[in-house]
A and B are shown apart, each in its own frame.
Chain A
Amino acid sequence: MIAVVFTGLLWALALWLVIIALRRGDGTAKEALQRALREFLWLLPRLAIGVIGAGFLARLLPAESIAAYLGRDAGFVSLLIASAAGMLTPGGPVVGFSLGTAALKAGAGMPQVITYVTAWSLMSFNRVIVWELPIMPRHFVYLRLAVSWPLPLLAGGVMLLVQ
Chain B
Amino acid sequence: MHPVSTAPKRRRLLDPGLVIIIVLASIGAGLTYRDQGMAAVWAIIEDDSLLFLEILPKVAAGCLIGALITLLVPREVIVRLVGSESGLRGLVIATLAGILMPGGPFTVFPVTVAFLTIGADAGAAIAFVTAWHVIGLNRAIIWEMPFFGPHFVVMRVGVSLLFPLLIGLVARWLHLRRKDTP
Contacts and interface: CB of A to CB of B under 8 A. Distances in A.
- Residue in A31, A40, A100 whose Cβ sees the most chain B Cβ within 10 Å: A40
Nearest to A46: B18
A134 B17 contact: yes
- Residue in B15, B49, B156 whose Cβ sees the most chain A Cβ within 10 Å: B156
Given A10-B103, A48-B52, A59-B31, A151 B163 contact: yes
Contacts of B68: 14, 17-18, 20-21, 32, 36
Assign chain B's interface to a size class.
35 or more
Interface string A133-163: 1111100100110111001001100110010
A131 B107 CA distance: 11
A65 interface: no
A28 B67 CA distance: 10
- Residue in A7, A38, A48 whose Cβ sees the most chain B Cβ within 10 Å: A7
B159 A21 contact: no
Nearest to B41: A56
B122 interface: yes
A14 B65 contact: yes
Interface string B102-122: 111111011011001000001
Interface string A62-89: 0000000000000000000000000000
B147 A101 contact: yes
B64 interface: yes
Dominant SS at the A interface? helix
Contacts of A49: 18, 21-22, 25
B27 interface: yes
Interface in B36-65: 44-45, 47-49, 51-52, 55-65
Contacts of A20: 68, 72
Interface string B1-37: 0000000100101010110111011111101100000
Contacts of B147: 94, 97-98, 100-101
B126 A56 contact: no
A93 B155 CA distance: 20
Interface string A1-13: 0110011011101
7 contacts: A7-B57, A17-B64, A39-B8, A49-B25, A104-B148, A114-B155, A130-B17
Interface of A: 2-3, 6-7, 9-11, 13-14, 17-18, 20-21, 28, 31-33, 35-40, 42-43, 45-60, 91-94, 97-98, 100-101, 104, 110, 113-114, 117-118, 121-122, 126-127, 129-137, 140, 143-144, 146-148, 151, 154-155, 158-159, 162
Interface of B: 8, 11, 13, 15, 17-18, 20-22, 24-29, 31-32, 44-45, 47-49, 51-52, 55-72, 102-107, 109-110, 112-113, 116, 122, 125-126, 129-130, 133-134, 138-139, 141-144, 147-148, 152, 155-156, 159-160, 163, 167, 170-171, 174-175
Given A31-B71, A43-B63, A140-B122, 9 more contacts: A10-B107, A35-B63, A51-B48, A59-B44, A113-B152, A121-B139, A130-B17, A134-B17, A147-B174
| Nearest 5 A/B pairs, CB to CB | A56-B28, A53-B25, A129-B17, A17-B68, A59-B28
